[in-house]
């Protein structure tokens, strides 16, 4: 781990589209753990922000509306930890020199909400996953340092 950055963990949250789960994780890490995590998110095949993910995070008081979808190489930093938040990203995770890869597969809210008749009907899926990601992010620094 890099100790030259005030002992903050440089964490990349990686998913396929970098539109929902990884963005939520970055938002939570910045909002809740900026004292010990330098957070980023990216996707193996980024395709734009998900408006319902933005809405779900806003409901919880975290603004991710200015985030953008990107590939890991567009960030241009070395990571201590790469957290894959979906199975697809875990299976196709690129190599990150010196980084520990941690996999935590969260459900995909857009897939869960596919049959929803309205945004309001879709939102419970986004809220559940948002809250699960929050719980994970709250524990992340201690869990990684304990290993």
Which residue among the candidates 15, 39, 42, 62 is catalytic per the annotation? 15
Looking at the chain, which runs of residues are DSSP E strands?
9-15, 37-43, 81-84, 100-103
Give catalytic status of residue 15 as yes or no.
yes
Alpha-carbon distances of 118 from 12, 80, 114, 123, 136, rounded to whole Å: 32, 40, 10, 9, 28
Give catalytic status of residue 93 as yes or no.
yes
Which residue among the candidates 31, 36, 93, 112 is catalytic per the annotation? 93
Q: Give the span between the Cα atoms of 61 and 39, in whole angstroms.
A: 18
Q: What's the half-sphere exposure (Cβ side, CA atoms, 13 Å) at 54?
A: 11
For residue 23, the tally of other CB atoms under 10 A from its CB is 27
Which residue among the candidates 83, 86, 89, 133 is catalytic per the annotation? 86
Active-site positions read: 15, 86, 93
């Amino acid at each position: 781990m890099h100790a030259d950055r005030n002992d903050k963990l440089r964490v990349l949250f990686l998913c396929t589209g970098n539109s929902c789960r990884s963005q939520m994780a970055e938002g939570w890490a910045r909002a809740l753990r900026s004292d010990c995590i330098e957070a980023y998110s990216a996707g193996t095949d980024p395709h734009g922000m998900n408006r319902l993910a933005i809405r779900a995070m806003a409901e919880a008081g975290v603004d991710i509306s200015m985030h953008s979808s990107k590939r890991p190489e567009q960030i241009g930093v070395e990571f201590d930890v790469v957290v894959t938040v979906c199975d697809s990203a875990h299976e196709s995770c690129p190599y990150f020199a010196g980084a520990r890869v941690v996999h935590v597969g969260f459900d995909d809210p857009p897939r869960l909400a596919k049959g929803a008749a309205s945004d309001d009907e879709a939102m419970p899926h986004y809220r559940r996953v948002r809250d699960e990601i929050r719980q994970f992010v709250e524990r992340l620094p201690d869990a990684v340092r304990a290993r």
